């Protein structure tokens, strides 16, 4: 759960007037961008001391930048309020960037070709805080289908993509997330026990794909595979889903090879 940003400014000491480069707006903007880039690259919350040390900034300067970015929504407090993580404004910026122009068109074409191969609706998703965010989607032309718009959010604990993202987290981070999210029962098959969800994630990490066995919506099954960036980090997922009347879980698993091939093509488009 994100805690509200603190608005109280740091106490002003009678320090010497900073050098010109310290006050220049361009320099301040550059430091803010470097701080946001560091957090995005780390993929975890960092304390003020960590940020200051890694960016070679005085703690006072780092505190001032964090205060400004908190106020604008580009940063947020972590569960441990002494640490900072990316905020909703930065996530929205990333979403808008990922869905812009030529690259988005190329990603959509990969997804469209996948749908032609597997014959069912496919999604391209990413992790957005403690939810799954739909970045792109191509519908199969069947009369019976589920429609979720691009930009929609779905839960982590009961969807194929969501459980995949949980499984790819370091164990300590995964345990913390599972402890924080509400394991709402969506169907009779939804995993609502934290221990069972942890065990499920361990299995997913070993087999490198995830499944939704009618856990999100009764009568709907899905499988998802990870999309890695050039550094080998999981940045997104590709999933296929369909009603059980058309696709059994065994049928879905047979489509994993095609999903992994599409995921490999997506790596160069992140």
What domains can you pick out in the chain, each with its CATH number?
A: 20-87 (1.10.10.10), 99-269 (3.30.450.40)
Phi then psi dihedrals of residue 213, to 5 deg? -95, 70
Higher pLDDT, 208 or 149: 208
Worst-scoring range by mean pLDDT, 26-40, 61-75, 194-208, 243-257? 26-40
The pLDDT value recorded for residue 263 is 97
Average pLDDT over residues 153-172: 96
Taking the C-alpha atoms of residue 26 and residue 231, their distance in angstroms, rounded to an integer, is: 30
What is the mean predicted confidence (pLDDT) over 183-188? 97
β-strands 46-47, 75-77 pairing: unpaired
The pTM is what?
Answer: 0.66
Mean pLDDT of 163-181: 95
Q: pLDDT digits over 187-228, tens only?
A: 999 999 999 999 999 999 999 999 999 999 999 999 999 999
Q: What is residue 99's predicted lDDT score, i.e. its pLDDT? A: 61
Q: What is the pLDDT of residue 218?
A: 95
Give percent of the chain above pLDDT 90: 63
Quick one: what percent of the chain has pLDDT higher than 70? Answer: 86
Q: Which range, of 95-104, 161-170, 171-180, 230-239, averages the lowest pLDDT?
A: 95-104
Q: What is the pLDDT of residue 145?
A: 56
Nearest Cα to 235, choosing from 85, 135, 122? Answer: 135
Give the model's confidence band at 183: pLDDT under 50 very low, under 70 low, under 90 confident, else very high: very high
DSSP for the chain, written as a single string: -PBPPP-PPPPPP-PPPPPHHHH-HHHHHHHHHHHHHHHHHHTS-EEHHHHHHHHT--HHHHHHHHHHHHHTTSEEE-SSTTEEEE-HHHHHHHHHHHTSHHHHHHHHHHHHHHHHHH-SEEEEEEEETTEEEEEEEE--S-SS-----TT-EE-STTSHHHHHHHHHS-HHHHHHHHHHS-----STT----HHHHHHHHHHHHHHT-EEEESSSSTTEEEEEEEEE-TTS-EEEEEEEEEETTT--HHHHHHTHHHHHHHHHHHGGG-
Position 92 scores a pLDDT of 77
Mean per-residue pLDDT over the chain, rounded: 85
Look at the alpha carbons of 258, 264, 265, 266 in this order and tell me if their dihedral is positive or negative: positive
Q: What are phi and psi of 83, to 5 degrees?
A: -115, 160
Q: Please, which pLDDT band fits residue 8 given cuts at 50, 70 and 90?
A: very low
State residue 16's pLDDT score: 39
Which tens digits make up the pLDDT trace of 76-132?
Answer: 887 677 889 888 888 778 767 766 667 788 989 999 999 999 999 999 999 988 899
d(CA 177, CA 198): 11
Residue 177 to residue 197: CA distance in whole angstroms: 11
In the block, which residue shows the tokens 């997922």?
237
d(CA 29, CA 5): 20
Mean pLDDT comparison of 48-52, 147-151, 258-262, highest-scoring range: 258-262
In angstroms, rounded to a whole number, what is the distance separating the alpha carbons of residues 189 and 142?
25
């Amino acid at each position: 759960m994100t805690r509200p940003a603190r608005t109280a400014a740091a106490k002003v000491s009678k320090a010497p007037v900073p050098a010109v480069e310290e006050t220049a707006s361009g320099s301040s903007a550059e430091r803010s961008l470097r701080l946001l880039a560091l957090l995005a690259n780390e993929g975890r919350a960092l304390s003020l001391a960590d940020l200051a040390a890694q960016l070679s900034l005085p703690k006072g300067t780092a505190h001032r930048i964090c205060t400004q970015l908190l106020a604008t929504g580009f940063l947020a407090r972590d569960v441990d309020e002494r640490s900072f993580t990316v905020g909703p404004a930065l996530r929205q910026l990333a979403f808008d960037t990922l869905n812009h122009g030529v690259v988005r068109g190329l990603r959509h074409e990969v997804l469209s070709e996948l749908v032609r191969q597997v014959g069912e609706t496919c999604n391209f998703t990413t992790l957005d805080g403690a939810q799954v965010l739909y970045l792109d989607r191509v519908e199969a032309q069947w009369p019976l289908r589920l429609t979720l718009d691009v930009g929609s959010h779905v839960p982590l604990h009961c969807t194929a993509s969501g459980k995949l993202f949980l499984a790819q987290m370091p164990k300590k981070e995964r345990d913390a997330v599972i402890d924080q999210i509400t394991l709402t029962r969506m169907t009779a098959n939804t995993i609502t026990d934290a221990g069972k969800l942890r065990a499920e994630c361990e299995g997913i990490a070993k087999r490198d794909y995830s499944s939704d066995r009618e856990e999100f919506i009764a009568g709907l099954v899905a499988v998802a595979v990870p999309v890695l960036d050039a550094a080998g980090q999981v940045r997104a997922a590709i999933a296929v889903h369909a009603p059980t009347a058309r696709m059994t879980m065994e049928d879905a698993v047979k489509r994993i090879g095609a999903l992994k091939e599409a995921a490999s093509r997506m790596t160069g488009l992140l």
